[in-house]
Amino acid sequence: MNASALSKPNQVRVLSMEAVSKAFFDVPVLKNVSLQLVAGQVLGLVGENGAGKSTLMNILGGVVTPDSGTIELAGAPYVPDTPLLARQRGIAFIHQELNLFANLTVAENLFITGFPKRSKLWPMVDRAAMRKRAAELIAAVDLETTPDTPLANLSPGERQLVEIAKALSIDARIVIFDEPTTSLSVRETERLFALIERLREEGRAIVYISHALDDVMRLCDTIHILRDGAVVASGPTSTFTKASMVKAMVGRDLERLYPARKSAVQSENVLEVKGIRREGIVENIAFELKAGEVLGIAGLMGSGRSELARILFGIDPADAGTVSIAGKVLLNRSPAASIEHGMAFLTENRREEGLLMEFDVAQNVSLAALPRFAEGFSGVLSSEKLALSIKESALSVSIPESKLGRKMGDGLAVRTLSGGNQQKVVLAKWLLTKPKVFVLDEPTRGIDVGAKYEIYERIDVLAHSGAGVLVISSELDELIGICDRIMVMRHGEIVGSFGREQFDRERLLAFAFEGKQSQ
Amino acid sequence: MMALLNILTQSSVLLIGATGMTLVLLTAGIDLSVGSIMFISAVTAGKLLSAGQSVGVAFLSALVVALIYGAINGFFVVRMRVMAFIVTLSTLYIGRGFGLWATETRAMNLPDSIGALGSARFLGLQFPVWVAAIVVVGAHVWLSRTQSGRQLYAIGQDREAARKAGIPVARLDSVVFLVCGLLAGLAGFVAIAQVGVVSPSLGTQRELSMIAASVLGGTSLFGGRGRVFPGTVVGALLITSVEATLNTMNVDPYLYPLVTAGIIFGAVAIDSFRNQQALRRALRRIRPLRA
């Protein structure tokens, strides 16, 4: 069926993107990507996290502007500028996080940028016409609700139908779905697929972005695979298997990107997690982390990795379960208690949570460890001891001495340092608290390859000194390169745990996607 | 009946300003400068009236000055992306300082022409009540019956989603600060028409009463929720009634702020509680729902 759609002689090309490139802060995310859409076809866009799928579609939808390249829409040039322009040109973008407003009614959400009006001159909304049109659109997507129902009363699946009805309201020629099934039940997913099938029959072009490879195989006529911002494979669905898609997605060879591991896993548990659950977020989390061990957590975006880290560190509460550090159960869990018992947490977002950007290196390094240097009853800081420890800590993560400044507060503001050096400052800060457990959430995000290598070396040194290190990363290669063991998360659960000898990129990815091994 | 009419008349100025404040709060913004805009507009009108200009010229000039302040607020918040709290705190001091300098901190007695306007009646209702009624009806129709009005609710609910949905967020934000400034200026003009004097303390801390009236009427400080009618109208009447009651009971005037503070605190606490419940309902789910 899919192949026959391709071979139809009178294909109408509705969109053509040629050599589109985009860089964020000099980091290229799209490199000369070309793509064509044909009326009445579904194009599947797959790739690892950060491969550039969403950026490509955000360009089409007017959310971000491309640096270079040309786009033609139905034969006429199209310069995406704003989401509104994209809508006016017949492009509907159904984002993963729906752009709907819970405080408005279903009808109002449908017409938020184009209410039916009484007349051209009189700006009042024609409510009767709005209800009538809305009722038609709601019926067209088989949604069982009324135009005046508050959106807040609808389930995630029903809200998505509202977003699709919105696409119908502008008679969109192109409908983009970004991860549409992540918050849907099985039944709602089936309903969505039937609807997509109908949109296709009506002659609309559809882009379907998803991590669910089975769905992609089932729905799409053609598939484009993106890796590192470039199209690495494309063709009719019949030319792909799930295994070949995964292979094309991960592709690259591992060179000497990772240092040799020196540390050895010891027998003593530094972290024990039992039965952690939080309603709707994570379920049944249990694992142990040993001294000297580097344990990775892999999983897709939105699989609950970062949320788990926040719960472990005590930022977010858990409904049940215990966390013990070095054999001691933490009774009242909070970030302060976690630090006191020897846990360190490097957040995903250095800029927002980990560092004070206007303060200098020494001030930042000293932050978490200040209580250790407060002397006696008065709690006055012992500045000499502190300065010495800061220097020691900074040098041990190879922050250049030139960046330190002679006195505390004298040095360069952390803002002026590179991403790699900033990350080292965060590491130095936590080293000063002598932690037994490190939780690193995306420690190398946005860092160049050289600096990454240094961070990997530091992780090994941490483990060598007897600490346990928990690393969360979206880059599977990175985890394979540095970890002793990798756990895979999916839908808030740990679905697999693999020792070094079992590391296999495709197998791990299969668990992340499917929760089991494919085939 | 007479008492109700009195409360209506007394609450008019607050209601006009609070309507503008409600608009800003709906978009999850804030405008602390409204009290000062009231003052500077009143000073402008007062100076012109004292110089022998007509009421009409004074009225229009007062509104123009208010619009300029609204435009300044909007420019810094929307274009320069400075927090609304900081911007409007600055314009609060600029407006107050400017007005005090222009009046040499002395009260200005105004000619009878404006006082006559203030006490003029039409169908039994005084001029301030009519102005407030027109403002409330206009704002209510805008918010509930027009596209841009409904879009304000969307912006207050989720600014980023509103942008992605194609709503002209920057333009509407600017419009809201302009309208809020304009209504504050109008409130200032109505206030001097009512009392016939521009006193140096005119409008002082009125921004807080306006916020209180909005929040008491159910408008959320977090944006996206609230109505001018009946909400803000009820809030303004309530606050005015409380003040009037304190007055007739001969309560020490120094205790008024305590009572007002208590009301504001209660309203904000309820708002915060409701918002937390809304957030809990909207919590992001990772685990799939069962079919």
Q: What is the pLDDT of residues B182-206, one digit of tens each?
A: 999 999 999 999 988 999 999 988 9
Of A367, A318, A326, the closest CA to residue A343 belongs to A326
8 Å CB contact of B153 and A103: yes
Span(s) in chain A for CATH 3.40.50.300? 1-90+173-180+205-252, 253-342+436-519
pLDDT, mean of residues A275-304: 88
> Minimal Cα distance from B286: which residue of A?
A281
Residue-wise pLDDT tens digits, B224-242: 899 998 999 999 999 898 8
| Residue A384 reports pLDDT greater than 80 | no
Token output for A258:
């990772």
| Residue A348 reports pLDDT greater than 80 | no
Sort out which chain A residues have CB atoms less than 8 A from B227's CB and list them.
none
Q: What angle do CA A251, A256, A262 make, to 5 degrees?
A: 125
The CA-based dihedral angle spanning residues B11, B14, B20, B22, taken in that order and rounded to the nearest 10 degrees: -80
Smallest Cβ–Cβ distance between A83 and the set B157, B166, B290 belongs to B166
* Confidence band of A80 (pLDDT split at 50, 70, 90): confident
* Confidence band of A375 (pLDDT split at 50, 70, 90): low
| Residue A1 reports pLDDT greater than 50 | no
Residue with tokens 């006696």: A376
Structural domains of chain B ordered from first start: 2-281 (1.10.3470.10)
Token output for B277:
């419940």
> Minimal Cα distance from B140: which residue of A?
A124
Distance from CA of A116 to the nearest CA of B (A): 9
8 Å CB contact of B287 and A492: yes
The pLDDT, as a whole number, for residue A2 is 45
Q: Does B151 touch chain A if contact means CB atoms closer than 8 Å?
A: yes
CB-based contact A219:A193 (threshold 8 Å): yes
Distance CA A500, CA A494 (A): 17
The pLDDT, as a whole number, for residue A328 is 87
How many of the other CB atoms lie within 10 Å of CB of A80? 20
Predicted TM-score (pTM) above 0.80: no
8 Å CB contact of B286 and A491: yes
Sort out which chain A residues have CB atoms less than 8 A from B28's CB and list them.
none
Distance CA B158, CA B151 (A): 11
8 Å CB contact of A125 and B150: yes
State residue A304 phi and psi, 5-degree precision: 105, 10
* Confidence band of A105 (pLDDT split at 50, 70, 90): very high
Give the N- to C-terminal CA distance of chain A in Å, as an integer.
23
Share of chain B above pLDDT 70, in %: 95
The pLDDT, as a whole number, for residue B245 is 87
Question: Residues 6 or more apart from B97 whose CB is under 8 A from it?
Answer: none
Between A309 and B179, name the one with better pLDDT.
B179
* Confidence band of A437 (pLDDT split at 50, 70, 90): very high
Sort out which chain A residues have CB atoms less than 8 A from B288's CB and list them.
182-185, 491
Token output for A514:
């499917």
Token output for B216:
């008491």
Prediction ipTM score: 0.84
Question: Residues 6 or more apart from B271 whose CB is under 8 A from it?
Answer: B215, B220, B221, B222
- Inter-residue long-range contacts of B86-95, CB under 8 Å, 24+ positions, other chains counted: B88/B30, B88/B31, B88/B32, B88/B33, B89/B32, B89/B33, B91/B33, B91/B36, B91/B37, B92/B32, B92/B33, B92/B35, B92/B36, B92/B207, B93/B36, B94/B36, B95/B33, B95/B36, B95/B37, B95/B39, B95/B40, B95/B69
Homologous superfamily (CATH) of A1-90+173-180+205-252 is P-loop containing nucleotide triphosphate hydrolases (3.40.50.300)
Mutate to test the interface with B, among A101, A117, A284, A491 (most CBs of B within 10 A): A101
| Residue A7 reports pLDDT greater than 60 | no
Q: Does B289 touch chain A if contact means CB atoms closer than 8 Å?
A: yes
Smallest Cβ–Cβ distance between A83 and the set B148, B154, B165 belongs to B165
Sort out which chain B residues have CB atoms less than 8 A from A307's CB and list them.
286
Sort out which chain A residues have CB atoms less than 8 A from B150's CB and list them.
104, 108, 112, 115, 125
What's the mean pLDDT when you consider all of chain B?
89
> Minimal Cα distance from B157: which residue of A?
A101
| Residue A243 reports pLDDT greater than 70 | yes
Which of A381-395, A476-490, B37-51, B209-223 has maximum average pLDDT?
Answer: B37-51
* Confidence band of A449 (pLDDT split at 50, 70, 90): low
Question: Residues 6 or more apart from A342 whose CB is under 8 A from it?
Answer: A270, A325, A326, A433, A434, A435, A436, A437
pLDDT, mean of residues A84-102: 87
Homologous superfamily (CATH) of A253-342+436-519 is P-loop containing nucleotide triphosphate hydrolases (3.40.50.300)
Distance from CA of A184 to the nearest CA of B (A): 7
